[in-house]
Amino acid sequence: MKSIAIIGAGVGGCTTYLFLQKHVVPHIPNIKIHIYEAYPAPPYLSKSTPSTRSPTHTINPEERPNLYSTPATNVTTATGGFLGFSPNGIRVLKSLDPEIYARIQAYSIEVDVFAFQISSGRMLGNFSSGGKERYGHGTFMINRAALHDAVLEKVRHEDISFGRKVARVVDGEKIVRVEFEDGGSVEADLVVGADGVWGKTKDAIEKCRGLTAEYDGLVGIGGFLDEKTTRNLLDKLQSNKDLVIPKNAVTMTFGSGAFFGTVIDLDRLDKPTSKDGSYENGDVEHDIPFAAWWSTFPMEPAPTSRTPFSEVKEKVLEKHKGWTPLITALIEASGFDERKGSTLVLPRWITPTLPKWTSDSGRILLMGDTAHCMPPDSGQGASCAVEDAMTIGLLCEALFSDLKASESSESEKLKQLCDLYTKIRKPRCEYIVAEARKRGDLKRDMGWLEQTIRNVVMFALCKVMPESAMDGFFSWDTETEVKKALKGEVPAVKGKGKVITAAEK
């Protein structure tokens, strides 16, 4: 194998590149691994290089549009809002590169539980979001841009081409041709489709052709607030007798036909007020949102991701009318000063279940959102993408590290790669998608009786939930399942039991 083309430079595409560099390049030094991205390059990439950055490297906000983006910001790192990066995904990136792990840890708020409440502010209980003792980590609440930066900045500049929008991917028994809208084309022995729900790569797989993303009827609207704005709104609310300040960093509020999540950095809230909204010691906290929120509710017709918050703000306030004062205040304080925070409108487009993730030739393979766009209710979108990436890297190392000594041809090995990858990843991801859709249904319009049943069930779950409740998501170990598949064993769909860390091994 002489060349691998990765279509898409998102979190999944960049992580796939890095795992291939780690596991394949040492065995095939002359292999060409290149990423092709439709968006323009973020401006800051030309101003610094991986060799000159520390894990907590801070970039001037004036050259960093991703953390302060608006709907018009047209760079790949500007897409997406705050997300929960789960313990299974954290362990993958930690095994990939300790510097990447240190960077995302520095830019995250780590939590072991999510607090659940109803719209009046009455608590239902706490739900596990991880934990160091059982899973090695809690969940990292992180801006998607910061997570993306951490992997994108590790990609060698000469190995990525921005502004190359794919028009068509043509499969072949001996080679794959990628054609771009600018009229150019490239050929590769293996193409990894990481180009998301609207990408062209999946159309090269006959059984996936024509299957387009579907709007699931829900819209996610969220915002980030800086320290000064957050402290000011909390000070104004102090006199409100109905004010409930969260005791947990992450609170999820369920009401009638809507959902509202909040993230407040409580550790920083207890610190003395900083000057001008930034810390005097110049640490990375300046680039971490002090507070974040997101609202999910049904909306028809679907807005676009470029819909300004001003057009939907009244709708958001209406959906949360009568909810806790903090929720109303967070919405009211959002969407005006892009330097103090930003607000995003994100309709939920979901990839339908694809019959195949790989081409018959074995030369095209789909991963991440291209293969299995996770509803955000799973909290597993980014984590599953990096699990895909690690699986691809480990399988390629096992199958192609000594191809000359193998009795199989390259073509046979590629088909074996695709077969193993599908067996390892497809059942697991489809299980998580199914679970996520159940959670999403809790955010749709409900009658009084349905709400009451939901609240009672959630209250009971929070009381009796065993320590192992999240093993299926959080305990799954990529390396273990790859080894099982290579031995001819059936890979697990769900994780099980306490995670054994590298140090314990």
- Side chain identity at 353, as an amino acid letter? T
Query: pLDDT digits over 177-216, tens only?
Result: 999 999 999 999 999 999 999 999 999 999 999 898 889 8
Locate 69 and state its tokens: 């983006």
83, 344 in Cβ contact below 8 A? no
Q: 3-state class of 495 per DSSP?
A: coil
Query: pLDDT digits over 71-92, tens only?
Result: 344 444 445 578 899 999 999 9
pTM of the model: 0.89
Q: Angle at Cα 112 formed by Cα 108 and Cα 113, nearest 5°?
A: 115
**How long, in residues, is the chain?**
505
- For 375-402, what is the mean pLDDT? 93
Give the residue among 111, 200, 105 at the shortest CA–CA distance from 379.
Answer: 111
What confidence score (pLDDT) does residue 282 get? 40
Distance, in Å, from the CA atom of 230 to the CA atom of 277, rounded to the nearest integer, reads 10
Distance, in Å, from the CA atom of 38 to the CA atom of 52, rounded to the nearest integer, reads 27
Q: Which residue has tokens 């903090």? A: 326
What confidence score (pLDDT) does residue 65 get? 38
Q: Which residues contact 337 (CB under 8 A, 6 or more apart)?
A: 229
- The mean predicted confidence, pLDDT, of the chain is 85
DSSP 78: G
114, 409 in Cβ contact below 8 A? no
Query: pLDDT digits over 284-343, tens only?
Result: 444 567 888 999 999 999 888 888 888 999 999 999 999 999 999 999 988 755 444 468
Query: pLDDT digits over 414-469, tens only?
Result: 999 999 999 999 999 999 998 888 877 777 778 888 888 988 999 998 998 888 99
Q: Which residues contact 162 (CB under 8 A, 6 or more apart)?
A: 9, 37, 39, 40, 41, 76
CA distances from 448 to 65, 92, 248, 256, 257 (A): 44, 42, 28, 8, 10
Residue 177, CB half-sphere, CA atoms under 13 Å: how many? 7
Give the residue among 99, 104, 101, 95 at the shortest CA–CA distance from 23.
Answer: 95
pLDDT at 362 over 60: yes
Q: Angle at Cα 92 formed by Cα 130 and Cα 79, nearest 5°?
A: 85
Distance, in Å, from the CA atom of 340 to the CA atom of 61, rounded to the nearest integer, reads 12
Phi/psi at 259 (5° precision) = -140, 145
Helix (H) or strand (E) holding 218: strand 214-225
Find the DSSP H helices in 341-447. 369-372, 381-400, 410-441
Locate 138 and state its tokens: 């809690």
pLDDT at 281 over 60: no
When computed from its CA atoms, the radius of gyration of the chain, rounded to whole angstroms, is 23
Highest mean pLDDT among 54-58, 454-458, 500-504: 454-458
Q: Which residues contact 30 (CB under 8 A, 6 or more apart)?
A: 2
DSSP 475: S
Q: 3-state class of 58 per DSSP?
A: coil
202, 192 in Cβ contact below 8 A? no
Phi/psi at 113 (5° precision) = -140, 150
Phi/psi at 76 (5° precision) = -60, -35
Locate 186 and state its tokens: 């490239």
Distance, in Å, from the CA atom of 332 to the CA atom of 19, rounded to the nearest integer, reads 43
Task: Write the DSSP string, 109-173.
Answer: EEESEEEEEETTS-EEEEEE--BHHHHSB-EEEEEHHHHHHHHHTTS-GGGEE-S--EEEEE--S
Distance, in Å, from the CA atom of 330 to the CA atom of 343, rounded to the nearest integer, reads 11
Share of the chain above pLDDT 90, in %: 56
Distance, in Å, from the CA atom of 387 to the CA atom of 16, rounded to the nearest integer, reads 9
By DSSP bridging, strand 3-7 and strand 190-193 are parallel
